[in-house]
Structure 1
Amino acid sequence: MATTTNDSLTFKNGYSEVNGLKMYFEIYGQGKPLVLIHGGGSTIQSNFEKVIPLFAKNRKVIAVELQAHGRTNDRNADLTFEQDADDVATLLKNLKIDKADFFGFSNGGTTTLQIAIRHPELVDKIILGSALAKRNGVPEWFWGFMSQAKLENMPEQLKEGYKKVAADTNGLQVMHDRDAKRMVNFKDIPDEQIKSIKAPTLIIIGDKDVITPEHAIELHRQIKNSDLAIIPGGHGQYIGEITTITPDTKESEFVVPMIEKFLNKSKE
């Protein structure tokens, strides 16, 4: 593990052997572990760069890059949310972390659901940012769009984010194709699995998100110990996700204080 300083923020970073991957991770700050899990087509920085310094004031932040994303290599296998969940669990075991809180955004939120379902012993609390659990959780056009997905239609900021960090920029096509295929083949997470989640859960979406308010409310009803927040704005705007940033984006618009309040609340 190396120690790096970047914009006055010091962090450790490295790679871990995880189920046939060399999985990249970064660790910031001290305190109770909070694991950040990025969305499709993204890197640690393209999703979380704006909020990591805020979380790291009070927490040990562990940010990961999943198969074929950012600095983590690809394995010769399709992406699944279940495998991503198992990869994160293995990484934490390698880092000797027995229990953590998890914040997953977008596809990372779906991975976080799978971590809570498959590895409940690792989980203290979870935050689901714009997470999808059912095909009807997004508008119908989304599925047509995914089945026609082309690399040239991927947001430029995400392509740039990938090229900035990946060892081999040819992996961009692989990442895109694996993410698109996973979404086209997406299957509903069964109700009984969602209802089995015991971890205190905070569900967050934007009111102009690709995830529908109805879906967030359904998740809220199914996860017994959950809170729900619908925040003005688009997909990931509430954390300053790279495609949502404008010149007048302010730190005060991010939901970090709300998340910290949720994490610090004693379990009921």
Structure 2
Amino acid sequence: MKKVFQPMMIGLGVTVALLASCSTKNSEPMESTKSTEKTAYFKSGYSDVNGLKMYYEIHGEGDPLVLIHGGGSTIQTTFGNIIPDLAKNHMLIAVELQAHGHTSDRDAPETFEQDADDVATLLQNLAIDKASFFGFSNGGNTTMQIGIRHPEMVNKLIIASAFFKRVGMFPGFFDGMEHASLDNMPADLKEAFWAINPDSTKLLAMFNHDKNRMLGFQDWDEALLQSIQAPSLIINGDQDVVQNSHAALMAALIPGARLMILPGNHGSYMGQVEGPYTEDNTTKLTLAVIEDFLTSK
């Protein structure tokens, strides 16, 4: 049963790094520390974003790369295991979306379009004009919407374990979602939320936002993906909740997109919390291909 809820509930890790010179207008004061190991620079803070107090972290220095977690997750549960490697060569701006982790909620449904607008507003507040974006699971859907709605802000897109039509999920996914309850939420994700925010009513609110968004999801027109002009890398696990044929279709629709199918389930190839992380060769390969993609002309 657990597999049914993975794309909704997995992959929200957010860790962010920002250069000291970056503006933080409309933001609360940030705490800053120096890492003792791989990440040379770290800041965190909140910014006023479309009615939210939106939490972000910044790790490292270099070309900006925005990290967008999956449903039910935090920065750390999605990206915590790979942030140190990614931050060696990039300034990571990791975000937590509406009602997730540290970020506040608003009296409105959660949508991929609104998430995309929230991320774009955050970058404007941080005086970052253009960046690459790496989204996992529901964060991958948000990343596609950024490419569709805010193309002027995009260098490159990395879209991992995401979908754009209901038929792209494994058979029975949406039937199972009808019966999803908070009891089905993976314990690792619950504990990560409670470590940040012990209020169980807020955990339930986040769960309901994510569930309702999935149940109400309407297929996107193929023309939306065809409109994406940024260089894009599509990643999927060969035993993912997103069908490999669907990932291949996405890569065919987005002009010039590249496709990588890796051995693994939903996010195990990139070390997210619900998949086994052993620093094995698959994760190293994922990071190597991402680095080559981001640095290629």
Shorter-chain TM-score bucket reads over 0.9
Question: In the alignment, is residue 227 of structure 1 matched against residue 266 of structure 2?
Answer: no
1:133 corresponding residue in structure 2: 164
2:62 corresponding residue in structure 1: 31
Q: Normalising by the residue count of structure 1, what TM-score does the alignment of the two structures yield?
A: 0.96
Aligned mates of 1:33, 1:175 — CA distance in 2? 28
Question: In the alignment, is residue 158 of structure 1 matched against residue 186 of structure 2?
Answer: no
Per-residue CA shift, 1:51-97, capped at 9, x if unaligned? 10000000000000000000001101110000000000000000000
Match of 1:195 among 226, 233, 244: 226
SS in 1 for 2:199: coil
* Aligned Cα root-mean-square deviation (Å): 1.3
Match of 2:136 among 89, 96, 105: 105
Match of 2:282 among 244, 253, 265: 253
Residue 252 of structure 1 deviates from its aligned partner by: 3.6
* 5+ residue gaps, structure 1: none
Aligned partner letter, 1:242? V
SS in 2 for 1:244: coil
SS in 2 for 1:124: strand
Aligned mates of 1:167, 1:139 — CA distance in 2? 33
Percent of aligned pairs with the same residue?
Answer: 53
Moved more, 252-261 or 44-53: 252-261
* 5+ residue gaps, structure 2: 1-29
1:117 corresponding residue in structure 2: 148
In the TM superposition, 1:5-20 aligns within 5 A as 8=37, 9=39, 10-20=41-51
Match of 2:108 among 77, 84, 97: 77
Q: Normalising by the residue count of structure 2, what TM-score does the alignment of the two structures yield?
A: 0.86
1:2 corresponding residue in structure 2: 31
Aligned mates of 1:25, 1:95 — CA distance in 2? 10
SS in 2 for 1:170: helix
Per-residue CA shift, 1:98-134, capped at 9, x if unaligned? 0000000000000000000000000010000001111
Runs of 4+ with deviation above 4 angstroms: 5-10
2:207 corresponding residue in structure 1: 176
Residue 190 of structure 1 deviates from its aligned partner by: 1.0
Question: What is the number of residues matched between the two proteins?
Answer: 264
Aligned partner letter, 1:73? S
Aligned partner letter, 1:130? S
1:239 corresponding residue in structure 2: 270
